[in-house]
Chain A
Amino acid sequence: MTTSKRGFMESAWDFFCSLKLSISLLIGLAATSIIGTVIPQSPPREYLESISAAKIKLYSALGFFDMYHSWWFILLLYLLTINLVACSVKRLPRIWKFISEPTLIFDDGLEKTLSLTHQFKMEGDAATLKEKMAAFLKGEFAEPVVTEVDGEYHLFAQKAPYSRLGVYVVHLSIIVIFIGALIGSFFGYKAYVQIAEGTSTSLVYKQGEERPFDLGFAVRCEKFSVSFYDTGSPKEFKSILTVLENGQPVSGYENIPIVVNSPLTYKGITFYQSSYGPAGDGAVYYFTAQNSKGGAPVQVAARKEERIPLPGGAFMRVLESTQDVRPFMPMFSGPAVRIEYLPASGEPQLVVLLRDYPDFDRQRGGELIFTYAGADEKFYTGLQVAKDPGVWVVWAGCSLMVLGIFIAFFLSHKRLWFRIANGRVTVGGTASKNQPAFQLFFDGLTEKLKKM
């Protein structure tokens, strides 16, 4: 290897090991991440029509429409990964040596580097003092390692040395999370399916793919329902699902209710309540119309906006319907419709009918009295379908990260040295974190020693 090449390798290594690179990458990731929160990702047509062609060209060239998967953003993530691996590889052996081969000899050089030291005169010969101090350390702090050098005794004790590894646990956890994410992106998928009530399907549509994907089993939507609070805001979206293998229901997977926040998982594939809508041609509404002067009621079935003839030359048309009338008429509840009633002679009227109040329309005092028997309304349920075998790796990484952060932030590597020589005991100590708290501990320790 020539010197210049070696120089290049070394400077590349130094570059990837540097903390400046870490800080730049973190701030760079923070700054560039903003772009994707301002520019819509996978934007809808309306957005694209609202900006100029030049902008579209620029944004697509820079990958701004799918920014978090653009080559340069991924590159930043890879650089961060290399950076934290390199930093760890460079520093870990030193830290490991520091933990596994602690400084046992409390010499003058070490003493000068410690801010907390104390010296006592003590009665007794060195060997007795050594025993006494070792027992003291064991009781008050941790069991010491005793080393004898030229008739002097050196005692070393430490607590939580592994707290120094916390930061590397965090670095490792980030890599574990990335691995989990990669497993998910290679072996998992996200898809979407709409299933009308009473029907089943085994085909789902993966994100960004036109052709359906066969799950290998089918899911039937037995029923979909939506309920509302008094205020009219939605309370629950619920689908009742059954899993079918070869057309037969799978035991244990029959009539499973799923709601938002409570999905169904079968064979590693999870179904999430996501949306809903009217299925097929829409609902059929059922009414009766009876002449106020008596006579047999007439049954009427109507679809929305359909003009339906009534006895005596009148017509009616369903304008709108609701599952729950409370937001509009707080005194009442239950399903309701609004219809347009066109009498044979006279002005068209708007009539509100409530299913749960069959006598409601009598108060109108019209020639025809309507009752609303309810609707045969079919919904489809929209399900998010996801398979992600990497998700447990991600959770393992997350747990590791929390563990690592707690070790790194809240555990302190505390070390104490005692030197026994010439009837004197010299004490020194240091902690990797929270020096003031350690100083209190150290002062308490020396107080106790003075009293011995």
Chain B
Amino acid sequence: MTSSMLFNVTTLTYMVSMLLFFAFLASRNRTVGLAASSAAYFGFIVQTVAIALRWKESYDIGHGHAPLSNLYESVVFFSWTIILIYGLIEFKYKYRVIGAFVVPFALLGMAWAQLGLSSGIEPLVPALQSNWLLYHVITCFLGYAAFAVACGISIMYLVKEKQEGATGDAQAGGIIAQFPSIKVLDDLNYKAIMIGFPLLTIGIITGAAWANYAWGTYWSWDPKETWSLIVWFIYAAFLHARITRGWVGRRAAILSIVGFAATIFCYLGVNLFLSGLHSYGK
């Protein structure tokens, strides 16, 4: 058994999970909902094993490093963290249905990684040969994943709000009736960002500490650094908006989606469109 086979199983399982979540939305059948999130967790376990196996394989071929060193590995890890954060939020707040808007992000990541990215285990370039790699990448991606979950919840918020506005009835029927109330969604959005913001903060700080250790400067306004700060500013604005009248609800949801768009640009856009110190993430 190879990690690559297990990653394929993971991708398929997330696909099944997503379809079950859509069926859950349409059918409102509790069993289907349970099957949907069980599939997601099964995929998560398989993926965990696969990541561990890839780590071992890297030692077997003599490179010996954590599977966090290139774009393929980071996308796989990102989708793993998305399911992890979704699991935490589902476990704590019992709103299974948000999986319908979160699992697709994880599936998208896995599908892209498996179909579009080169999956070879490469040796570590000198710049990455440090334990800071682990701390920096793990905290950043957990943060990104929390923002992905917040974005999924915010999309649900906007959909739900629009329908409630259109029918003028909080008890609107159909698929969307399955959604938690907009008040709950607004609160969950905030909760997800409360998980993501400290992690992003630690991610930026560990990045700065590493940069200082490797290059002698903790901040050099490199595009990646700057974009991570942009993301930080957006979510800091979100957190302050929470305690300002008129910024709860719709505007908060939009800010959360904008924040995640900036996160994705920070993660992928900077490497694809801009040049800088993080070029090994290509």
Contacts and interface: CB of A to CB of B under 8 A. Distances in A.
Interface of A: 19-20, 22-23, 26-27, 29-30, 33-34, 36-38, 41, 68, 181, 190, 229-231, 233-237, 259-261, 263, 270, 272-274, 384-386, 388, 391, 394-395, 398, 401-402, 405-406, 409
B194 A409 contact: yes
A336 to B, nearest CB: 21
Contact of A37 (B216, B243, B270): B270
Given A23-B237, A23-B240, A261-B132, 10 more contacts: A26-B236, A26-B237, A260-B214, A261-B213, A272-B216, A394-B218, A398-B208, A401-B201, A402-B202, A405-B201
A398 B205 contact: yes
Interface in B229-282: 229-230, 233-234, 236-237, 240-241, 243-244, 247, 262, 270, 274
Contact of B216 (A36, A38, A386, A406): A386
Nearest to B236: A26
A234 B218 contact: no
Residue from B194, B205, B218, B219 having most chain A Cβ neighbours under 10 A: B218
Contacts of A274: 215
A264 to B, nearest CB: 11
B205 to A, nearest CB: 5
17 contacts: A19-B240, A30-B233, A30-B237, A36-B226, A230-B123, A233-B122, A233-B123, A234-B126, A260-B126, A272-B214, A272-B216, A386-B216, A388-B212, A398-B205, A402-B201, A402-B202, A405-B201
A229 B127 contact: no
A235 B63 CA distance: 10
B122 A231 contact: yes
A19 B223 CA distance: 28
A27 B198 contact: no
Contacts, number: 111
Nearest to A207: B217
A272 B216 CA distance: 7
Contacts of B208: 394, 398
B209 interface: yes
Nearest to A401: B201
A259 B216 contact: no
Contacts of A402: 198, 201-202, 205
B68 to A, nearest CB: 15
B197 A405 contact: yes
A37 B274 contact: yes
B118 interface: no
B119 interface: no
A27 B233 contact: yes
B171 interface: no
Contact of A391 (B130, B197, B212): B212
A33 B229 contact: yes
A151 to B, nearest CB: 41
Given A20-B244, A233-B122, A391 B226 contact: no
Contacts of A409: 194, 197-198
In order of increasing CB-CB distance, the 6 nearest A-B pairs are A386-B216, A30-B233, A26-B237, A260-B126, A37-B223, A261-B130
Contacts of B240: 19, 22-23, 26
A97 to B, nearest CB: 19
Contacts of A384: 215-217
B41 to A, nearest CB: 24
Interface of B: 122-123, 125-127, 129-130, 132, 194, 197-198, 201-202, 205, 208-209, 212-219, 221, 223, 226-227, 229-230, 233-234, 236-237, 240-241, 243-244, 247, 262, 270, 274
A409 B125 CA distance: 38
B130 A33 contact: no
Nearest to B195: A409
A217 B67 CA distance: 42
Contacts of A190: 216-217
Given A68-B221, A231-B122, A261-B130, A26 B233 contact: yes
Contacts of B122: 231, 233
Contacts of A233: 122-123, 125
A19 B244 contact: yes
B218 A38 contact: no
Contacts of B233: 26-27, 29-30, 33
Nearest to B187: A436
Contact of A23 (B129, B194, B212, B241): B241
Contact of B274 (A27, A38, A385): A38
B243 A19 contact: yes
A381 to B, nearest CB: 13
A74 B212 CA distance: 22
Contacts of A234: 125-126
A26 B237 CA distance: 6
Contacts of A36: 221, 226
Nearest to A28: B233
A385 B123 contact: no
Contacts of A263: 213-214, 216
B123 A235 contact: yes
Contacts of B237: 22-23, 26-27, 30
A181 B221 CA distance: 13
B226 A33 contact: yes
Contacts of B213: 261, 263
A111 B219 CA distance: 51
